[in-house]
Structure 1
Amino acid sequence: FTDEVGRTTKYEYEGLAQVKKRIDPAGQVFEYFYDTERNLTGLKNENGETYQLIYDLNENLIQEVGFDGREQHYEYNKSGQLIKHIDGPRLPASEPKTADATETTSTTESPDQPSIPTTEFKRNKLGLLLEKQTSDGEVSTFQYDAAGRLTEANNNHRKLSFTYNAIGLLTEESQDNQTISHGYDPLGNRTSTTLPDGQSINYRYTPDGLFTDVALNGQLITQVRRDNQGREVNRIQGVVESQFEYDIMGRLTRHRVGSRETRQLIIQREYGYDNAGNLALIKDLKKGETQFQYDALDRLTVVNGIIKESFAHDPAGTILAQTDQPNGQSQGNRLLFQGDRHFAYDSRGNLTAEKRGKHGKLVTRYTYNHANQLIKVENASQTTEFTYDALGRRISKKDSFGETQFLWNGDVLLSETRENIHKTYLYEP
């Protein structure tokens, strides 16, 4: 494949149109490997690091070893549904087992063996997840209605419940004793959200279903106007107005922000692009001109502006440094050090420690549960702890100064409360 600026990427195939090699314009090779059943069994990246995939006789993935050496194992029931995930080397006491559709398997560890993070899944006969238990004792349970829609998701930290209308749209979500409710138009667009404290968020749309307005308690917060291609050309937020212009390729070329009252410009930026479509230039009303340069693989290498930066990459594309001479090191896509900062990871790839300063005396440590969720951050000044709901959303942050509680609207943060301070966040629908 040769792009519009003459750079060629080559592909080699084997068998039935299976990609064997990809050779990029810089001549670097990424390789693919398969078994006789055409399952992908391995990858080799531009650094020579390998990724391995192993399957059982039913072609279920039972083991993978990442570029960084992270080893994961999977077990299934007779229906081919996942019932166990082992995040680390398999211990001798944990051998593959077969279970019925509603069974789980157990893990026994000897006292001298390290704890290997394990997640077990219990399912009903339809394959719906009923219970998830991790080896550190965290248990999440789930319930469904007759249509298979999630109605409850509970763990030790928070209870969740969900209600739907006749066509399956979510109308209520309760998080402990706080309930968020939603209303919709005949096309299924969400038109209203009522918060636990009684505040109301309302949305409006174009006939094509594109968002135009959001209001809080009847007060217009944001109003959007679009061109005939649906692109945003104007946005009004209180006394602030933003304008957007595009080129024939649909790329943003100008962005202006000003006061509707004084007509004074607050922000003005113009954007230019190279022949490959990369951002090449920003002209800013206040910061002046910034230029961007890229290598043959479209990786950012130089930024010339108020602050001058340059970036070095390893063959796999990982950024190693922000100077002309590489001063960073990565392995398996994990950054080991950069400048005076040194990083340590656990076997699952989670960052566990960052040392910086003279002789690495400034240390920040990170602790994770067996679901790889960050639960503690420690440094010289304080310790911060976090908890999560059954859907993996962070619901609390506790430090030496107090506790913050989080409330969610689907997958986006709706509000946070800390003592007498309450913040609500609004998003486009």
Structure 2
Amino acid sequence: MSSHRRITGSVESWRYTPRGLLAAHTDEEKRETRWQYTPEGRVAALTNGNGAQYRFSHDADGRLVREVRPDGLSRTFILDDSGYLTAIQTTGTQGGVRRETQQRDALGRLLRTENEHGQRTFSYNRLDQITAVTLTPTEAGQQQHQMQADTVRFEYDRSGWLTAEHAGNGSICYQRDALGNPTDITLPDGQHLTHLYYGSGHLLQTALDGLTVSEYERDSLHRQIMRTQGQLATYSGYDDDGC
């Protein structure tokens, strides 16, 4: 696709390199985002609509190892022999350095992250689902960011669907249908967010404590053609290719 004209008359356009890689995107406000690539086809730079540029470096295997942001701040990504991230080093424009380390098990699962503000540890069940994340702040984390020690725990049903999240500030509980779609979500304050589906899981209505938030209409192919939000309604149409 090279251009798209909206019903309002505004135009969005795209340009590509000879290899078919996206070279530029111009939005409805005529702001242009540009991409530059290495000979291998990896993104080397991105310039956004405000003229700010991000630069990227990769290793011989094509993995991202460094990012330089428009303000000069840089992040270096340190990988192990298996390609897993082990540390992120952030260097500020004034030379200050922050470092976060990551520890993984033999399966590559993240076990611990640590920086100057605190440590997070991760636990898993036998199905490799995360069951707990524990935050232990440092003194700096407590004083500078008011961080408090906490553990978020996750529960699952026999089918592996998430049924609850528990933390120090409350719990979120999920009820699901036979297809795993969440039908009732109990929020920490006791409110209920409900979803009504039809067929093989197509969302029909969302409500909060019985009050309708959004309703959805679909065509014979179950594509969304209308959505309400209070007094607002959004309509969608599709061409013969489904776009």
Please report the TM-score for the alignment, with normalisation by the length of structure 1. Answer: 0.42
1:41 equivalenced with 2:21 (yes/no) = no
Partner of 1:11: 15
Separation in structure 1 between the aligned mates of residue 192 and residue 182 of structure 2, nearest angstrom: 10
Aligned length: 215
Quick one: which of 107, 111, 118 aligns to 1:126? Answer: 107
Query: Of residues 94, 110, 121 in structure 2, which corresponds to 1:141?
Result: 121
C-alpha deviations, 1:294-332, integer Å up to 9, x for none?
Answer: xxxxxxxxxxxxxxxxxxxxxxxxxxxxxxxxxxxxxxx
Contact 1:203 1:211 in 2 (8 A): no
Question: Which range moved further: 205-214 or 162-171?
Answer: 205-214
- Equivalent AA in structure 2 for residue 155 of structure 1: L
Contact kept, 8 Å, 1:183 with 1:191, in 2: the verdict is yes
Q: 1:38, CA displacement in angstroms?
A: 1.8
Rounded to whole Å, the distance in 2 between the matches of 1:152 and 1:6 is: 48
Amino acid at match of 2:97: I
Note the C-alpha offset of 1:124: 0.9
Closer, same or farther in 2 for the Cα pair 1:13/1:193, shift >3 Å? closer
The sequence identity of aligned pairs, in percent, is 22
5 Å-filtered alignment, 1:326-345, equals none
Q: Pick closer, same or farther for the CA change 1:126–1:221 going to 2, 3 Å.
A: same
The 8 Å contact of residues 34 and 41 in structure 1, kept in 2 or not, is answered as: yes
In 2, distance between residues paired with 1:23 and 1:228? Answer: 31
Give the distance between the partners of 1:3 and 1:117, measured in 2 at CA: 43
Q: CA-to-partner distance for each residue in 1:194-247, whole Å, 9 max, x for gaps?
A: 5678x573635132442536464xxx33376554545345x8xxxxxx555566
1:31: how far off?
4.3
2:181 is the alignment partner of 1:201: no
Alpha-carbon separation, structure 2, partners of 1:179 and 1:8: 43
Q: CA deviation at 1:151?
A: 0.2
Choose which of 203, 206, 212 in structure 1 pairs with 2:205: 212
Quote how far apart the aligned CAs of 1:8 are.
Answer: 8.2
Structure 1 distance, partners of 2:211, 2:12, is: 48
Distance across 2 between alignment mates of 1:6 and 1:226: 26
In structure 2, C-alpha distance between the alignment counterparts of 1:191 and 1:119, rounded to whole Å = 39
SS of corresponding position for 2:198:
coil
1:190 is displaced (CA, Å) by 2.0
Q: Secondary structure at the match of 2:71?
A: coil
Contact 2:197 2:205 in 1 (8 A): yes
Query: Structure 1 pair 3/20, CA: closer, same or farther in 2 (3 Å)?
Result: closer
Instruction: Provide the TM-score with structure 2 as the length reference.
Output: 0.69
1:189 aligns to 2:181 (yes or no): yes
| Contact 2:164 2:173 (C-alpha < 8 Å) held by counterparts | yes
Partner of 2:58: 55
8 A contact 1:8–1:25 mirrored in 2: yes
**Cα displacement string for residues 326-362 of structure 1 (whole angstroms, at most 9, x for unaligned residues):** xxxxxxxxxxxxxxxxxxxxxxxxxxxxxxxxxxxxx
Which secondary structure does the structure 1 equivalent of 2:97 belong to?
coil
Per the TM alignment, residue 75 of structure 1 is displaced from its structure 2 partner at its CA by 0.1
Distance of 2:211 and 2:118 partners within structure 1: 41
Question: Kindly tell me: are residues 30 and 171 of structure 1, through their superposed partners in 2, closer, same or farther at Cα, counting changes over 3 Å?
Answer: closer
Residue of structure 1 equivalent to 2:142? none
Work out whether residues 4 and 12 of structure 2, in 8 Å CA contact, stay in contact via their aligned partners in 1: yes
Quickly say closer, same or farther: Cα 1:32–1:207, change in 2 above 3 A: closer
Ranked by relative contact order (alpha carbons within 8 Å, sequence separation 6 or more), the top structure is: 1
Deviation at 1:165, TM superposition (A): 0.8
Q: Which runs of 5+ in 2 are unaligned?
A: 137-148, 239-243
Alignment map for 1:242-281 (pairs within 5 Å): 249=237
Secondary structure of residue in 1 paired with 2:154: strand
> Does structure 1 residue 221 correspond to structure 2 residue 214?
no
Distance 1:172 1:35, change over 3 A: same
> For 1:119 and 1:8, how far apart are their aligned partners in 2?
40
Distance 1:210 1:118, change over 3 A: same
Amino acid paired to 2:122: F
Q: Is the 8 A contact 2:204 2:216 kept in 1?
A: no
Among 109, 117, 131, the residue aligned to 1:151? 131
Matched residue type, 1:133: E
Q: Kindly tell me: are residues 26 and 152 of structure 1, through their superposed partners in 2, closer, same or farther at Cα, counting changes over 3 Å?
A: closer
User: Which segments of structure 1 move beyond 6 Å, counting only runs of 4 or more?
Assistant: 23-29
Tell me, yes or no, if structure 1 residue 163 matches structure 2 residue 144: no
How far off is 1:249 after superposition?
4.5
Q: For the residues of structure 2 that align with 1:26 and 1:201, how far apart are their CA atoms?
A: 40
TM-superposition CA deviations, 1:65-122 (whole Å, max 9, x none): 12222211110011101111111169xxxxxxxxxxxxxxxxxxxxxx9651111110
